[in-house]
Amino acid sequence: MNFSSYGSQFSYLSQIRLVASVSQTLESGFDIYITWQEEYAGTNTLGTSQAIYEPPCTIINNTITLGAKTKTYILNEVDMQNIAIHELGHALGLGHSNYANDIMYPQYTPRGNVIALSTLDLYGISVVFEWLSHYPYIPNICPSKSSISLPFYVQYEYLPISYENLPPPTPPPYKTLLDFILGLISSPYIIVFLLLLTISLIILSVVIWRAISTKETSEDDTLVLGELK
Ligand SMILES: [Zn+2]
Q: In the chain, where are the structural domains located?
A: 3-170, 179-228
Residue 193 phi/psi, 5° resolution?
Answer: -60, -45
pLDDT of 83 higher than 60:
yes
- Kind and range of the H or E run holding 227: helix 190-228
CA of 25 to the centre of ligand 1 (A): 26
Percent of the chain scoring above 90 in pLDDT: 45
Cα–Cα distance list, 176 to 48, 179, 194, 195 (Å): 39, 5, 22, 25
pLDDT tens track for 102-120 = 999 999 988 889 999 999 9
CA of 105 to the centre of ligand 1 (A): 7
Q: What pLDDT does residue 178 have?
A: 75
Mean pLDDT of 160-171: 82
Q: What pLDDT does residue 175 have?
A: 65
More confident residue, 42 or 36: 36
CA of 186 to the centre of ligand 1 (A): 39
Give the torsion sign (CA, 81, 85, 91, 97).
negative
d(CA 89, CA 125): 8
CA of 97 to the centre of ligand 1 (A): 9
Q: Which range has the worst mean pLDDT, 6-15, 48-57, 58-67, 185-194?
A: 185-194
CA of 47 to the centre of ligand 1 (A): 8
CA of 228 to the centre of ligand 1 (A): 89
Give 222's pLDDT tier (boundaries 50, 70, 90). Answer: very low
pLDDT of 228 higher than 50:
no
pLDDT of 226 higher than 70:
no
Neighbour tally for 46: CB within 10 Å: 25
CA of 16 to the centre of ligand 1 (A): 22
In whole numbers, what is the pLDDT of the chain averaged over residues? 85
Select the highest-mean-pLDDT range: 87-91, 141-145, 177-181, 190-194.
87-91
* Residue/partner pairs of 151-159 with CB below 8 Å, 24 or more apart: 151/123, 153/7, 154/6, 154/7, 154/119, 154/123, 155/119, 156/118, 156/119, 156/120, 157/118, 157/119, 158/116, 158/117, 158/118, 158/119, 159/2, 159/3, 159/116, 159/117, 159/118, 159/119, 159/122
CA of 106 to the centre of ligand 1 (A): 5
pLDDT of 95 higher than 90:
yes
Cα–Cα distance list, 185 to 170, 173, 189, 191, 195 (Å): 19, 16, 9, 9, 14
CA of 207 to the centre of ligand 1 (A): 59
CATH code that applies to domain 3-170: 3.40.390
CA of 96 to the centre of ligand 1 (A): 6
Q: What pLDDT does residue 168 have?
A: 79
Q: What pLDDT does residue 220 have?
A: 47
CA of 19 to the centre of ligand 1 (A): 23
